[in-house]
Amino acid sequence: MPISPPDESLLEQTPMDLMDTYGRMRSLTDRADFQGTLPAIWQCSDESQSIKKALLGYVYNCPTFNLGRVGALLDPVRLSTAAHHGQDLVILGGSHIGAEEVSGVGYIRRINGQSVPCCGMLERVLGDYLRTYRRATQLIKISREASRVKIEVPYKYLFEKPAGETVRIRIHLNQLVEGEALGEGTLGKIYRLHPELVSDYPEVVNHLGTTPQPIGHLLHPETFSFSKKLNPESHEPKSMLEGSVFDFMPQIVSSVFPHRRLCNINTWRQFHRIASYITDGFDGSNRNIFVLAGLTIDHSIRHNSFIPQFGFWMEHGRALEARYFGPLEINELLAEQDVYRPPVTFLEYAGL
Ligand SMILES: [Zn+2]
């Protein structure tokens, strides 16, 4: 089993107004005596992230340096370049999601009037896995005859195949059934449903009759995994994102809001990449660095709010004493700060 990401309930902190978030970051870094501060950002290249990026520059009175790629994939190598452009660094990053949820996917309305998945890149990474999982939740059926709860598993899930170019679901039969097959069904073999599933989902099992029903959410993350031939050598963003979240896909697709869960797990992975790059692979000599990672909610292509989820704070280049903040701690830390307001208008900041 892979290391578990933080629970979704913990990551679902209250969204903050963007200028409020930035104003509190600025107060924090002012109090910590940041000097010659360069704001940097890793986020998707999506147009819905552009005003957000510009406003970070406005609050720090310095245009923002870009550390990210499509899908909010961090390019840590750019951090070394950023270090030549400023003394201290304040870094904001993470995935984004359209505020309107439809069937587990976040949507946004584009300038052309179309309502589309957003983050589109992460939705493309998710798509095949989600479809494969949802198909299995419909094709594997459960039913009940007197006290016997039965499950029919189609043959296509029973025959093991080597990992290929397309996503396949690999059913963990010993978590799903008990004992040998009872007989043949129309599509596959019929077994007794595993007793743990019977006792863990009484609200489903108690309502079963003799007509087979889709197994639905009883197909939980311990009952399956995915197989796919990944390409770890690829520098193409979709492959890199897929590789970094592949192990977590079972819990992503089976969560209530899979697209958002993927966004959050992506942010968690990228945050720890940047934090370890700063402490291990980067000459941070005497620098102050503050990193805030979280989920951006896109209400429109112009307007975002932000959920702080993770923080990292290194003072005077002292990597061993760097502090890490989880979802509760980072929100507490920001709540303690005043909201700094820029003394000039945005156009004045832009030199216009
Ligand atoms: Zn995106």
| Sequence-separated (6 or more) residues with CB below 8 Å from residue 167 | 128, 129, 132, 226, 227, 228
CB 38 within 8 A of CB 82: yes
| Sequence-separated (6 or more) residues with CB below 8 Å from residue 272 | none
pLDDT score for 1: 53
Which is nearest to 263 in space by CA: 48, 93, 109, 128? 93
pLDDT score for 242: 95
Q: How many Å lie between the centroid of ligand 1 and the Cα of residue 201?
A: 36
Say which amino acid occupies 177. V
Say which amino acid occupies 33. D
Separation of alpha carbons 273 and 225, rounded Å: 25
DSSP state letter for 243 = H
DSSP per residue over 170-200, as a string?
A: EE-HHHHEEEEEEEE-SSEEEEEEPHHHHHH
Q: How many Å lie between the centroid of ligand 1 and the Cα of residue 133?
A: 23
DSSP state letter for 37 = P
DSSP state letter for 91 = E
Q: How many Å lie between the centroid of ligand 1 and the Cα of residue 122?
A: 7
Residue 239 has a CB neighbour count (10 Å cut-off) of 15
CB 252 within 8 A of CB 265: yes
Q: How many Å lie between the centroid of ligand 1 and the Cα of residue 237?
A: 11
Separation of alpha carbons 156 and 65, rounded Å: 50
Q: How many Å lie between the centroid of ligand 1 and the Cα of residue 43?
A: 8
Question: What are the residues whose beta carbon lies below 5 Å from ligand 1 (ion)?
Answer: 44, 46, 119, 121
Residue 336 has a CB neighbour count (10 Å cut-off) of 11
Q: How many Å lie between the centroid of ligand 1 and the Cα of residue 23?
A: 25
pLDDT score for 183: 94
Separation of alpha carbons 202 and 177, rounded Å: 16
Inter-axis angle of helices 237-245 and 120-139, to 10 degrees? Answer: 50
Which pair of tokens denotes residue 337? Answer: 């700060």
In a structure prediction context, what are the per-residue pLDDT tens digits for the chain, which is 352 residues long? Answer: 567 899 999 999 999 999 999 999 999 999 999 999 999 999 999 999 999 999 999 999 999 999 998 888 888 888 888 888 989 999 999 999 999 999 999 999 999 999 999 999 999 999 999 999 999 999 999 999 988 999 999 999 999 888 999 999 999 999 999 999 999 998 899 999 999 999 999 999 999 999 999 999 999 999 999 999 999 899 899 999 999 999 999 999 999 999 999 999 999 999 999 999 999 877 767 899 999 999 999 999 999 999 999 999 999 999 889 999 999 999 999 999 999 999 999 999 999 9
List the Cα angle 259/119/225 in 5-degree steps: 35
DSSP per residue over 96-118, as a string?
A: EEESEEETTEEEEE-TTS-EEES
Omega prior to 263 cis, within 30 of 0: no
Confidence (pTM): 0.94
- CA gyration radius, the chain: 24
DSSP per residue over 46-72, as a string?
A: -GGGHHHHHHHHHHHTSPPEE-EETTT
Q: How many Å lie between the centroid of ligand 1 and the Cα of residue 97?
A: 8
* Count, residues in the chain: 352
Separation of alpha carbons 61 and 38, rounded Å: 9
DSSP state letter for 160 = -
pLDDT score for 72: 87
CB 73 within 8 A of CB 241: yes
